[in-house]
Amino acid sequence: MEGRLDVRKTYKLFIGGAFPRSESGRTYAVTDAKGRFLANASLASRKDARDAVLAARAAQGGWWSATAYNRGQILYRIAEMMEGRRAQFEDEIERAEGVSTRRAVAQVDACIDRWVWYAGWSDKIAQVLGSSNPVAGPYFNFSVPEPTGVVAAIAPQRPSLLGLVSVVAPIIVSGNTCVVIASAECPLPAITLAEVLATSDLPGGVVNVLTGAPGEIGPWLASHADVNALDLTGVVDDGVATEMAVAAAETITRVLPPPASPPDWSADPGLGRIRAFVETTTVWHPQGV
């Protein structure tokens, strides 16, 4: 509208279902692909990372004990909410990544479809990864996959939104909660996604989104004793990846290493990511009269 000054959005962190600024008060300027100013994003600190882990831990018990059906419904709801706001996502991706409208649209399509794909997995994981085990004795024995717990993830730089969704959805679908560091270069779509998550019946704390420098806060997350697993998919610096993997060893934290070659994010994701963040519990019980 000619002559009217638009109202800009303040992009903040997403922790425990709320949108706080970084406790450090720090921000960094986010620019578009041509270097023009877009917004000041929060530069998350070590303390923000700790708060996010606390929120993720607090949410884990409830999210895990929700029925798989319920988790699936909520993931599907996220897809529905994204569909309704797709124009905003397309616009943000186009500006942040400097890609064509067609590619931005394709990325948003893929994001929405990915939520739908993982939504459908929620009540099938145990059927595909679990088993009934024929032991040599009068026992009923079965194995079920259970969530590992709290997962800290580094989302890929590009594609900023599809990378984030592809990392987060398989973590939470099985009942884990997560702290994810969004693309440092293009963090704005991640925060807009957080607004979708906040209005999709996803309990606060299941997904916590930090913006900032993975090299700065990643190692703190890796060494945090209440983080059960690390997803290093978005770590591009081998030194940082190794530093984080070394820190993880202190409490035997599970580590999904960065991909050996750049992944094809449009490909069928398979079960690998879900499997990386579940544990198998095996239960024995005697049979008899």
Partner 1 sequence: MTFDYAPAPESRAVVDIASHYGLFIDGEFVETIDGTTFKTVNPATEEVLSEVTEAGAADVERAVKAARTAYKQTWSKMPGRERAKYLYRIARIIQERSRELAVLETLDNGKPIRESRDVDIPLVAAHFFYHAGWADKIAYAGYGDRAYGVAGQIIPWNFPLLMLAWKIAPALACGNTVVLKPAETTPLTALAFADICRQADLPPGVVNIVTGAGQTGRLLVESPGVDKVAFTGSTEVGRQIQRALAGTRKGLTLELGGKAANIVFDDAPVDEAIEGIVNGIFFNQGHVCCAGSRLLVQESVHDEVLDALKRRLATLRMGDPMDKNTDIGAINSFEQQSRIDDLVRAGEDEGADRWSAPCTIPERGWWFPPTVFTGVTQAHRIAREEIFGPVLSVLTFRTPDEAVEKANNTPFGLSAGVWSEKGSRILWMASRLRAGVVWANTFNRFDPASPFGGYKESGFGREGGRQGLAAYLKQEVV
Is 40 strand, coil or helix? Answer: strand
Residue type, 150: V
For helices 188-198 and 68-84, angle between their N-to-C axes, nearest 10 degrees: 120
Hey, what are 22's tokens?
Answer: 């970084």
| Minimum CB–partner distance for residue 87 and partner 1 (Å) | 29
| Minimum CB–partner distance for residue 280 and partner 1 (Å) | 5
| Minimum CB–partner distance for residue 277 and partner 1 (Å) | 11
Residue 272 binds to partner 1 (criterion: CB under 8 A): yes
Name all contacts of 23-26 with Cβ < 8 Å and 24+ positions apart: 23/47, 23/48, 23/51, 24/48
Query: Binding residue for partner 1 (CB under 8 A) from 135, 199, 237, 262?
Result: 135
Q: Which is nearer to partner 1, 96 or 165 (CB)?
A: 165
Residue 223 binds to partner 1 (criterion: CB under 8 A): no
Residue 289 binds to partner 1 (criterion: CB under 8 A): no
Distance CA 171, CA 241 (A): 19
> Considering CB under 8 A, how many residues would be counted as binding partner 1?
50
Residue 270 binds to partner 1 (criterion: CB under 8 A): yes
Residue 162 binds to partner 1 (criterion: CB under 8 A): no
Query: Binding residue for partner 1 (CB under 8 A) from 105, 139, 204, 223?
Result: 139
Confirm if 180 and 207 have CB atoms less than 8 A apart. Answer: yes
Cβ neighbours for 23, distance < 8 A, ≥ 6 positions apart? 45, 47, 48, 51
Confirm if 200 and 78 have CB atoms less than 8 A apart. Answer: yes
| Residues within the interface to partner 1 (CB under 8 A) | 128-129, 131, 133-137, 139, 141, 143, 146, 148-149, 228, 238, 241-242, 245-246, 248-252, 254-257, 259-260, 263-264, 267-273, 275-276, 279-286
